[in-house]
């Protein structure tokens, strides 16, 4: 480190770096040419790959079809016979990381965990590999002799982008629902832009007001709220809007009214804005009945669509329709569209990573079973202590829990006997997502019993509820603690 800071050595170091860059470019071009020759020159395919953790050359699996390569295949994938090929590994190509895979009706569609990489490879016969591959490509499409095709992200995005609108129309055939999701997506883009510009645009700090539940409003709270209200009113498909930032419901003018009622928290976790921590938007959608606010005061089982949008290193929208799968879309700034990147999102079947997420500052207020459960996570289950992860933005914490596994706990307590999270636009939508992804969304001990968040019925637009969300493994620990305390608990086996 001292040598790096020595001013006399800076020119020399810069020269070394420049030489390395030039060597990298030359080496990369040579490797691309060699790889293209080995692939038989199929449509000028230039490819190279490396196994995780390896350097230099590595064995590279491929199908018997010349030039058809394996990309990002995990251990769960089974498939065709494979050959072996050596491939050089240039380090100056665009990098895609594709660690997951998903079956489709043709062969296999790989769907990467990185938003920009998902759905890069289509119709590839796959083998059972020990771990995923890092793959780099110069050209993005070729055909083999048996018509196996590899179609990569950049070319797909240019000609056949799997956008949000296309997905909604293909799944619902409901043009009004397409308009609604487009209006929501527009507001998410506007909010994402405001969040990114918060520092330079002086949007940090309080606005000097409080919202419907007594929280201090930030400048971005008010701006985000206005963005969502304007987008939804002018969509022409909404009848009633409920926002955390407005004490009263918003009745859409008759000439712009439609068939949907939408409840939303425009900027969940906004108290973290000033320190640049992830925030998000949460929403739930109900169909209009009588055009009055009571249309929203219905059981969570009647919610027809629920989702959230996370604003972080990527802008990611996750949502689900009733009795459907959970899908993820990432905002591609190059085309200004949300693009389908996560398919049929599922809570890890084995419970995933051992993570518990809660605000332990409230520990003294919790009931004894919750204290016992958190102590069990901290001290270890089966000899393995859990890690603590708590962002304080519900969207960020739930998104991590959905992807990685673990448990999220925000129970009722002595200080907040009804819970702290808003039922209509936090509890119910998140419960619908977690449950339809294969997880559990429990209330914990609430109103004299342990129930399901998705079956709660709000008695007011801003009423609250407790939440315990996770997989069978970890929610089962909480239920065991309640059972020991003499509380009747649901049988988790019924949900398997």
**Residues with catalytic annotation?**
215, 221, 244-245, 265, 267-268, 426
Write 151-155 long-range contacts (CB < 8 A, 24+).
Answer: 151/120, 151/121, 151/122, 151/123, 152/96, 152/120, 152/121, 153/96, 153/116, 153/117, 153/119, 153/120, 154/94
- Let me know: does 321 contact 305? Beta carbons within 8 Å: yes
Q: How far apart are CA 409 and CA 453, in angstroms?
A: 13
Q: How far apart are CA 112 and CA 121, in angstroms?
A: 9
Q: How far apart are CA 162 and CA 169, in angstroms?
A: 12
Q: How far apart are CA 279 and CA 323, in angstroms?
A: 27
- Let me know: does 250 contact 242? Beta carbons within 8 Å: yes
Which parts of 203-251 are beta strand (E)?
Answer: 206-210, 216-218, 238-243, 250-251
Residue 416's Cβ-count burial label (10 Å; 0-12, 13-18, 19+) is middle
Question: Which whole-number Å values give the CA distances from 382 to 403, 406, 476, in the listed order?
Answer: 23, 15, 14
Tokens, residue 35: 């790889």
Tokens, residue 59: 């064995």
SS3 369: helix
Q: How far apart are CA 182 and CA 168, in angstroms?
A: 10
Question: Which whole-number Å values give the CA distances from 221 to 103, 248, 268, 281, in the listed order?
Answer: 41, 16, 9, 11
How many other C-beta atoms are found inside a 10 Å radius of the C-beta of residue 294?
13
Q: How far apart are CA 238 and CA 249, in angstroms?
A: 12
Is the Cα dihedral 299, 243, 308, 347 positive or negative?
negative
Q: How far apart are CA 47 and CA 139, in angstroms?
A: 8
Residues with Cβ within 8 Å of 44's Cβ and at least 6 positions away in sequence, in order, are 36, 139, 142
With residue 387 as reference, give the H or E element that holds it. Answer: strand 387-388
**309: nearest Cα among 281, 279, 330:** 281
């Amino acid at each position: 480190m001292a040598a790096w800071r020595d001013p006399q050595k800076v020119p020399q170091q810069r020269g070394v770096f420049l030489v390395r860059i030039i060597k990298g470019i030359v080496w990369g071009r040579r490797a691309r040419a060699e790889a293209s020759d080995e692939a038989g020159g199929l449509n000028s395919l230039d490819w190279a790959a490396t196994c995780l953790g390896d350097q230099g050359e590595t064995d590279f699996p491929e199908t018997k079809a010349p030039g058809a390569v394996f990309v990002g295949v995990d251990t769960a994938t089974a498939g065709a016979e494979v050959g072996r090929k050596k491939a050089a590994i240039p380090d100056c190509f665009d990098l895609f990381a594709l660690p997951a895979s998903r079956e489709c009706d043709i062969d296999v569609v790989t769907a990467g965990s990185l938003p920009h990489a998902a759905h890069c490879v289509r119709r590839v016969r796959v083998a059972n590999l020990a771990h995923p591959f890092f793959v780099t490509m110069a050209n993005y499409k070729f055909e083999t002799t048996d018509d196996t095709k590899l179609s990569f992200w950049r070319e797909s995005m240019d000609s056949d982008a799997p956008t949000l609108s296309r997905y909604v129309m293909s799944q619902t055939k409901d043009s009004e629902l397409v308009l609604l999701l487009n209006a929501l997506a527009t507001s998410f883009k506007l909010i994402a832009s405001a969040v990114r510009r918060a520092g330079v645009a002086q949007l940090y700090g309080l606005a000097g007001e409080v919202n419907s539940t007594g929280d201090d409003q930030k400048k971005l709270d008010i701006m985000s709220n206005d963005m969502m209200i304007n987008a939804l009113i002018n969509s022409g498909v909404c009848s009633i809007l409920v926002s955390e930032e407005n004490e009263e419901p918003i009745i859409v003018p008759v000439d712009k009214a439609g068939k949907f009622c939408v409840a939303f928290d425009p900027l969940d976790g906004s108290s973290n804005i000033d320190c640049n921590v992830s925030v998000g938007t949460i929403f739930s959608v109900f169909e209009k009945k009588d055009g009055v606010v009571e249309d929203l005061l219905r059981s969570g089982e009647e919610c027809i669509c629920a989702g959230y949008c996370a604003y972080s290193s990527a802008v990611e929208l996750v949502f689900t329709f009733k009795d459907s799968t959970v899908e993820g879309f990432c905002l591609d700034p190059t085309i200004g569209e949300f693009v389908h990147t996560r398919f049929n999102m599922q809570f890890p079947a084995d419970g995933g990573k051992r993570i518990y997420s809660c605000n332990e500052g409230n520990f003294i207020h919790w009931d004894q079973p919750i204290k016992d459960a958190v102590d069990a996570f901290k001290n270890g289950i089966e000899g393995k202590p859990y890690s603590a992860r708590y962002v304080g933005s519900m969207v960020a914490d739930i998104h991590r829990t959905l992807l990685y596994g673990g448990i999220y706990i925000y129970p009722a307590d002595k200080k907040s006997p009804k819970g702290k999270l808003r039922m209509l636009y936090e509890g119910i939508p998140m419960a619908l997502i977690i449950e339809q992804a294969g997880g559990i969304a429990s209330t914990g001990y609430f109103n004299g019993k342990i129930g399901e968040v998705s079956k709660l019925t709000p008695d007011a637009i801003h009423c609250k509820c407790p939440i315990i969300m996770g997989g069978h493994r970890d929610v089962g620990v909480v239920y065991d603690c309640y059972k020991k305390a003499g509380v009747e608990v649901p049988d988790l086996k019924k949900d398997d």
